[in-house]
Chain A
Amino acid sequence: MNLHEYQAREILRQHGIPMPEAAVAATPEEARAIAARLGGKVVVKAQVHAGGRGKAGGVKLAKDAAEAAAHARQILGMTIKELTVHKVLIAPAAEIASESYVGIIVDRAAQRPVLMVSPAGGIDIEQVAAQTPQQIHRLAIDPRFGLLPHQALGLGFKLYPNLGQARAAADIMVKLAAAVYAVGASLAEINPLVTTPDGSVLALDAKIVVDDNELDRRPEIAALRDASAEAPSEVAAREAGLTFIKLEGSVGCCVNGAGLAMATMDLVKYYGGAPANFLDIGGSSNPQKVVNALKIITADPNVKAILINIFGGITRCDDVANGIVLATSQFPLKVPMVVRLTGTNEREGVAILTKAGYSALTDMDEAVMQAVARAREQTACASSSTRRPACSSRASPGATAPSTPSRCWATAPRSWLASHPAKALSCSRASCRCSTRWPRRWRRPRRTLR
Chain B
Amino acid sequence: MDEMSREASQLVKAGRVAFHPTAADRARLIAAVTGTATLSAGVARAAGAQRSLRRIFGVTHAARLLVIALPVAAAGAHWLHVRELSPAVVQRALPTPPPPILVAPSTAQRPLPLEPQAVEPPHEPSEPERSGSTVSESSKPGNDVHQEVALLSKAQAALSRGRPQEALEAISEHARRFPHGVLAEERAATLVRTLCALGRTQAAAEELKRVEKLNPTSAYLARARESCGL
The answer on A and B forming one complex is no
Please report B residues at the A interface, Cβ cutoff 8 Å. none
Please report A residues at the B interface, Cβ cutoff 8 Å. none
